[in-house]
Amino acid sequence: METLREWLVFVTEPSVILIDAIALVVIVGSTIQAVFAMVRLLMSTPSERERREVWMRYARWLIAGLTFQLAADIIETSITTDWEAIARVGAIAVIRTFLNYFLERDFGETQARQEQAR
């Protein structure tokens, strides 16, 4: 049984690091992209639609990044035996889930407004 646990830890730890790295790349990349888009908009006279498109693209990528991070947190709990560590991972997962929920809700509301405007 200990061998199975060792195998689980062996597979899980690099998986969590890889998934967190993917989340980091997604979030940092989308943030850089959003900053450049906002600077470009500040140098022109953007329409409300153009500003909204930048925000929506950024929100989509943030949701993707948060989803990757949540996946890593869930996997990490499979090898955590310390209750304090489990509680910490659980709290982080709850915070990310709520943030993800509100981002998706804002995304949905904005899409609904765009469809009504058409």
Q: pLDDT of 72-105, one tens digit each?
A: 888 888 887 788 878 877 887 788 788 878 888 8
Cβ pair 101, 60 in contact under 8 A: no
**pTM of the full predicted structure?**
0.76
Quick one: CA dihedral 56, 57, 60, 62, positive or negative?
Answer: negative
Side-chain half-sphere of 64: how many Cα atoms within 13 Å? 16
Q: Is the pLDDT of residue 107 over 80?
A: no
Cβ pair 38, 54 in contact under 8 A: yes
Torsion of CA 29, 31, 34, 39, to 10 degrees: -110
CA distance 118 to 116: 5
